[in-house]
Amino acid sequence: QVQLQESGPGLVKPSQTLSLTCTVSGGSISSTSYYWSWIRQPAGKGLEWIGRIFTSGSTNYNPSLKSRVTISMDTSKNQFSLKLNSVTAADTAMYFCARDTVTGWFDPWGQGTLVTVSS
């Protein structure tokens, strides 16, 4: 079955760029049946959808983060990536990648990776 695994630095300095990669196994991100999303969760808080990408390269972003977010994909590596620039402490969170059905629910999810923004 499809599995997703996030990777990237666990510590990012304020004002710098957060960069994460999600590696997909057991399925192809080139599938036209799915999108691929990033979602985050500050400690002890709820879930916030960040954005998604389709195999064509088209993207959708949460309007609240749109000015700072870029999601891209590398089909040769079966990976998609998140870049969030100008980070602050408010961006400290667990970051999850997930397969996004064309309808809009998420299944499955990666295990998540904790990113702390601190100097």
Partner 1 sequence: EIVMAQSPATLSVSPGERATLSCRATQSVNNNLAWYQQRPGQAPRLLIYGASTRATGIPARFSGSGSGTEFTLTISSLQSEDFAVYYCQQYYDWLQITFGQGTRLEI
Residues found near partner 1 in the complex (CB under 8 A):
45-49, 60, 62-63, 96, 101, 103-112
- Rounded CA-CA distance 44/55 in Å is 33
- Confirm if 86 and 68 have CB atoms less than 8 A apart: yes
Residue 63 or 88: the one with the smaller Cβ distance to partner 1 is 63
Q: Residue type for 25, please?
A: S
Helix (H, G, I), strand (E, B) or coil at 5: strand
In the complex, the smallest distance separating the C-beta of residue 50 from partner 1, rounded to whole angstroms, is 10
Whole-number minimum distance, CB 26 to partner 1, in Å? 14
- Please give the Cα distance from 54 to 31 (Å, whole number): 9
Q: Which is nearer to partner 1, 16 or 48 (CB)?
A: 48
CB of 40 to partner 1, least distance (A): 11
